[in-house]
Chains A and B, each alone.
Chain A
């Protein structure tokens, strides 16, 4: 087969994807992803004419604008606050408790 993904590449992808993977899974992903890439690699062989690289799906070529009509603020959320808060992983009163992002250097 063609190029096998390196272990460093798999590590880097896992970091980018925010996935904590076991060593065993990294090894099997190294093999699986390399196999899949080898198969889908046939797309890289096609030629693209000039600068005709498409940026939107061919079947959706137009931007879509909605009518500029007034509506109530938070209309879609009306009456749903309780349910949304219910889904918070950690809750204190009305608040969603999240981790402190800025931490002291030590």
Chain B
């Protein structure tokens, strides 16, 4: 039998319901794994000191008759999601000792379901990055290969699940920050439709792009978590109602779901930049879909090559606005200078790390008079074009498929030039720009030499996971879960 911490959420829920195990058993198994490996991998910024007490409370609730699928399930939470009374730092020195004064809506919903919060996970500072190397508290290592990054910005949340320190986790995704680490760690990562999940209580990065979502071992687990955290919320007026999806207890996906049985592949976008064996793994995944009766068709998204540019205009613009609130006056790091201006400038320079400062500067530039029309105005226009192209294609196909990333997890320290790091996001940013739901699902592994610059290491290569990304129409998360289950 698998160790308890290696169970999927679905399996653990069944065992708890059958009375075979308790929430305390599960929590203990996760804590033991953390004890053994967290020091090396730097996944958790904090492991909560009341995990066992939370698990006991869940067991008590079960004895009292509750039976939610998440009751007693240990989850890891990204350090930019507020849990009342607990520290939340966004992996920044700016918020090192900040304590949340309320629960994020997603946390409130998870508490109602009875989930157990194991701890807060490392991330790129303020969710800016694709490797978790931008954390003010040190890089997280990929459990699959500790010389490599786990991806980011939800790298700690991905690594926690991959290393079996939690059964699932929550991340946030502004340009791929759930899907890219999921691909790098061999997990399922899901970014919901913009507005499907409340952003209330998330530390904002790009408000028109941010969504919270699950990282899990299976598609069924991702679906289960999504169905708990989704919903319209008066505290976030951008939230929308997503059709009542299936629940775990009802078994597989909704029966009235009408699939076209057609998957679109934008071949033009894959001609350059994707590593050959990643592309081969992708083709194999498509073949398995074909074998399940899906027709694979070429689709054209003429504006898609602009997506990364659009993203790196809109996102920093929103970052520079959102992070203006960190001024050292009401909370956060506060340093004194000669005058009020110096107070701000010193606090912000010391509180924010280099990548955050870079994006604030970039955002300030694209929003400044004289450049606004050329950058921000055009990016918004391109955003509209891209959204329409996706809608047109998704009227003909169930989903659009691409590799989640052009390569497997990179080595820690491999990319020092910011632009080359941004290129990792090339396939993921589009869904945030257009607001479509997108999921990354494991599509096997590719081999890389164990050491950098060592192309013939005598067969001692590492097998590294890669992912396939499926994007569906707004609100069509059911389609992604249904096709995703076919792939797993």
Give me the interface of A with B, judged by CB distance under 8 Å: 5, 9-10, 13-14, 16-21, 25, 29, 32-33, 35-37, 39-44, 46, 48, 52-55, 57-60, 64, 66, 76, 80, 83-84, 86-90, 96, 98-99, 101, 103
Contact = CB atoms under 8 A, between A and B. Distances in A.
A25 B381 CA distance: 33
A41 B324 CA distance: 25
Contacts of A60: 194-195, 208, 238, 435
A54 B474 contact: no
A87 B383 contact: no
A57 B383 CA distance: 8
10 contacts: A20-B346, A40-B309, A40-B379, A43-B310, A44-B375, A44-B378, A54-B384, A59-B195, A59-B474, A87-B332
A105 B474 CA distance: 58
Given A19-B345, A33-B365, A37-B365, 18 more contacts: A13-B365, A16-B368, A18-B348, A20-B348, A21-B357, A25-B357, A36-B312, A37-B375, A39-B419, A41-B375, A46-B385, A48-B381, A57-B194, A66-B237, A87-B331, A88-B331, A96-B330, A99-B343
Decide if the interface of chain B is mainly helix, strand, loop or mixed: helix
B37 to A, nearest CB: 33
Contact of B329 (A9, A58, A86, A98): A98
A40 B385 contact: no
Interface in B138-190: none
B306 A46 contact: yes
B446 to A, nearest CB: 27
Given A33-B361, A58-B383, A88-B331, A19 B340 contact: no
B15 to A, nearest CB: 38
Contact of A39 (B312, B340, B387): B312
A66 B88 CA distance: 29
Given A32-B418, A43-B382, A58 B387 contact: yes
A59 B434 contact: yes
A59 B387 contact: yes
A45 to B, nearest CB: 8
Contacts of A21: 349, 357
B55 to A, nearest CB: 25
Contacts of A10: 361
B484 interface: no
Contacts of A46: 306, 378, 381-382, 385
Given A17-B361, A39-B419, A88-B330, A83 B99 contact: yes
Contacts of B330: 87-89, 96
Contact of A99 (B313, B340, B379): B340
Contacts of B360: 17, 19
Nearest to B418: A32
Given A17-B320, A19-B361, A53 B306 contact: no
Nearest to A10: B361
Nearest to B341: A18
Given A18-B327, A54-B380, A13 B358 contact: no
A58 B435 CA distance: 9
Interface in B322-352: 324, 327-334, 337, 339-346, 348-349, 352
Nearest to B345: A20
A7 B119 CA distance: 44
A53 B348 contact: no
Nearest to A14: B361
Interface string B209-242: 0000000000000000000000000100110000
A19 B380 contact: no
